[in-house]
Structure 1
Amino acid sequence: MNPISTSSLFHFTKKYDVLKLILANGLRYTYSCEVFPIEIVKNHFAETSSTAPKKIYPNIAIPLISFCDTPLTRVAKHSNIYGKYFIGIEKDYINAMGSAYLNPLLYANADYLKNAVSELSALPCHLTKVLNSYVLKNHKEFELFVEENAKNPNSERLLDLLPDDFRELLRCKFVFIKRMNQILALYKPITGTFRGIKNYFFIDEREWRSFIPENKAEWKWGISKAEFSRNYLKWTNELIEDKQRYYTIIPQFLYCISHIAVKKEDERKDIIQYIRESPRLFGWDIYNQKDRTLFRDILISKVTTFERIETDY
């Protein structure tokens, strides 16, 4: 019986040159434009001090890397959309050594669950109102805080000068926002419209994500699809200037790469030659010649072609 999931996570791309860049530098985080209930985006602007655009769209651009654990016997539909070049990484390794923010998506179907996410996103606004009310009713308790903030707004003592109840409620608010955004990064409806296809079953993609939380990289809230398309390269290039925006694998663990797939048989020799000549492997420079040969041979042993997969599976 064929399994419904795999022991590896696969990252697909449409471009051969991108596969080469992955082999040299590692997987890079890029922005993905995700659709959410409009209430979630509106609640974000209502709670934060950021200026809302004239028109708010139900989209958030989130920096992430997408994987799937669809078996290769069932991957034809997925590859038609996302490309026939891919890297496979053993799931045990990527779970143990990979991003702390790696998880399969949370697919939502029932209305109560969709509504729950929207309603929970409004909670920070309510907490802000409670905090403001507390300040108005107990303003004398904040005199030391105001005085210190005027002298030294970056003082480490500031939080200690807040009333205990207020400080705890403030902490709860920020923890909730952090956790809520982590849920949003993994949230997706089971079905929806995708690239002009109505009632597209997102759940069939069996998607996993590694994402960058909002406190480490800016998310783009309320943008239109047109704005995303115009700025995609700019935003992504701003991300990849930081080396931490790549998912790399140290050479000693390159054996955990399970597949390197090119589209055609006549590309196989070329990708092997590229691996043999590359000074970097998955984001790491390898200076020792003996080690370099060993690690290159490990990667070469993982090379296959999509044509062969379609024939053999």
Structure 2
Amino acid sequence: MDYNPISADTLFHYTSSLSILESILVNEFYPRYCLEDHSMFNSKHNRLPHLCERAIPMVCFCDIPLSSIRNHAKNYGNYAIGLSKDWGKSKGISPVLYTYEKATTAGYLRGSYHESVGKLIDLNSIKPATLDFIAVYLELFLFMSKPYEGTLWRNGKYVDGVRFYDEREWRYVPSLDSMLQYKFKPSLTKEEFTADDIRNYNNTKLQQFKLSFSPSDIKYIILDSETEVLDFIKKLRYIKAKYSKDDIDLLTTRIITMEQIRKDF
């Protein structure tokens, strides 16, 4: 029986610049705070200030086949690295839960959240094996939830009318144990996120939650145009500390361009 999947066996991370892609190949992934709107989890009678716009530490991927990637690339950039889905599963990277304000899933989460997390005063005061500890797990589960559609914060402003459901997002968020051990901020307010000094300071603290991969995990390297390929290969050959000559030779076979994707996929 033939099977025609609508998802890829690769997790792609798209970015807007060649320099960022090169940095990922050298340094691997570091989580960064991303601004999202969680106001759908507020109830009409009990609105929590931090359940609106807040920035969450994450690394984002999608499993959209290359034949369907054009709209996604418009929002997130024409450069990407694609890693095997088996690698992602081994790292605990998970598909997000898509929901909307009147959905039953949002209602259940909203009620549970207000009965537990909403009553916490200080997340740093929680103790294992308590209801407070369970509440923080619920808080982190909300970090893995996303509106079916809404506004996307991109380049310092909101883009309206984005159907997030089409992004098929897989997400990495640092674990609860890490959050408690290093006492980093589980989320930033919009005011904190838009203050460059506060955002940059907290992003720097997230470097201890590095998400690593090996050259054999890489299935695709996507550049914008064919004119960039030769210079990019030359730069790869200078990354001696991370990749062997055989690794570099293998990675050069994994390079494709957005130009090729637009024409041939």
The answer to whether the 8 A contact 1:105-1:207 is kept is yes
Per-residue Cα deviation, 1:51-81 (whole angstroms, up to 9, x for no partner): xxxx757122211100000110010000011
Normalised by the length of structure 2, the TM-score is 0.81
Tell me what 1:158 maps to: none
Counterpart residue identity of residue 19, structure 1 = L
The alignment status of 1:94 with 2:88, answered yes or no, reads yes
Distance 1:182 1:247 in 2: 18
Counterpart residue identity of residue 108, structure 2 = A
The answer to whether the 8 A contact 2:32-2:58 is kept is yes
Per-residue Cα deviation, 1:85-143 (whole angstroms, up to 9, x for no partner): 000001022212x2x3x110101134332222121112226987xxxxxxxxxxxxxxx
Given candidates 221, 236, 250, the residue that maps to 1:298 is: 250
Greater gyration radius: 1
Tell me what 2:97 maps to: 106
**Matches for 1:67-78 after TM superposition, within 5 Å:** 67-78=61-72
Counterpart residue identity of residue 106, structure 2 = K
**Matches for 1:112-261 after TM superposition, within 5 Å:** 112-124=104-116, 171-195=129-153, 196-213=158-175, 214-215=179-180, 216=182, 217-221=184-188, 223-224=189-190, 226-230=191-195, 231-240=198-207, 242=208, 245-250=209-214, 254-261=215-222
Distance 1:173 1:279 in 2: 50
Distance 1:10 1:94 in 2: 10
Structure 1 residue 35 displacement after superposition = 1.2
Structure 1 residue 269 displacement after superposition = 0.7
Tell me what 1:159 maps to: none
Counterpart residue identity of residue 277, structure 1 = Y
The answer to whether the 8 A contact 2:38-2:51 is kept is no
Distance change in 2, residues 1:280/1:86 (3 Å): farther
RMSD: 2.8
State the secondary structure of the residue aligned to 1:247.
coil
The answer to whether the 8 A contact 2:36-2:55 is kept is yes
Per-residue Cα deviation, 1:169-226 (whole angstroms, up to 9, x for no partner): x7241341232023111111211233544442110111110111343532235x22x5
Distance 1:268 1:85 in 2: 12
Distance change in 2, residues 1:295/1:44 (3 Å): farther
Tell me the percent identity.
Answer: 26
Equivalent pairs, count: 244
Counterpart residue identity of residue 187, structure 2 = K
Whose RCO is larger (CA < 8 A, sep 6+)?
Answer: 1
State the secondary structure of the residue aligned to 2:237.
helix
Per-residue Cα deviation, 1:143-190 (whole angstroms, up to 9, x for no partner): xxxxxxxxxxxxxxxxxxxxxxxx9xx724134123202311111121
**Bigger proportion of residues as helix:** 1
Distance change in 2, residues 1:181/1:43 (3 Å): farther
The answer to whether the 8 A contact 1:272-1:303 is kept is no
The answer to whether the 8 A contact 1:14-1:85 is kept is yes
Tell me what 2:123 maps to: none
Tell me what 2:36 maps to: 34
Given candidates 254, 258, 262, the residue that maps to 2:223 is: 262
